[in-house]
Amino acid sequence: MEDAQIVDLYWKRDERAIVESDAKYGVYCYTVANNILSNTEDTKECINDTWVKAWNTIPPQKPKALKPFFAKIIRNLALNRYQMQNAQKRGGDMVTIAIEELNECVSSREDVESAYFAKLLQKDVNRFLHTLSKRDCDIFLCRYFFLENTAEIAKRYRMRESNVLVILSRLRKKLKKFLRKEGYFV
């Protein structure tokens, strides 16, 4: 079923919208959440929460493409669940490592000013991503949006993991340079 048809089902409040969403995007959502949580039960709960959130969000929203819409929802739900479960823990897990890698480019401060500039930063990072080749952009997003480990990325792009690590290092340096040029202090 096409995305527009699924969205129409949500607008009509037809419960088949959830069935069709799960049939088309369930495996994809499972992968996104499981990359973050590494726990089948938690991942399944996040998927169910995603369909509930979509049900409560459509309408009034009317997304043109459901894949990125669902990706954003499930990623945020999985990250929130991860943070709750690991509030007292620190260290070498994959999510923490990926976030720490990005901290060298983008740091955050807990105040009103940083919340205001977060939207501006998001737009600038998106502009940066549009300057990259498709492969580099995909590798960056796989690592820092979908939080995939570097071994999975290497397998997908048929390269050595060390190559992926070098590409990610170069991309972080480019991002840092780009953000400095845009006036950010990094």
**Among 103, 104, 168, 158, residue whose Cα is nearest residue 137:** 168
Calculate the average pLDDT of the chain.
86
pTM: 0.65
* Region of 104 on the Ramachandran plot (φ > 0 left; ψ -120 to 50 alpha; else beta): alpha
pLDDT at site 168? 95
Q: What is the pLDDT of residues 124-137, one digit of tens each?
A: 888 999 999 999 99
- Split at pLDDT 50, 70, 90, the class of 82 is confident
Let me know: does 139 contact 170? Beta carbons within 8 Å.
no
Q: How far apart are CA 56 and CA 41, in angstroms?
A: 23
Residue-wise pLDDT tens digits, 44-81:
999 999 999 999 999 999 999 999 899 999 998 998 88
Cα dihedral 48→51→57→58 (10° resolution): -170
Tokens of 51: 């369909």
User: Can you list the domains of the chain with their CATH numbers?
Assistant: 3-85 (1.10.1740.10), 94-181 (1.10.10)
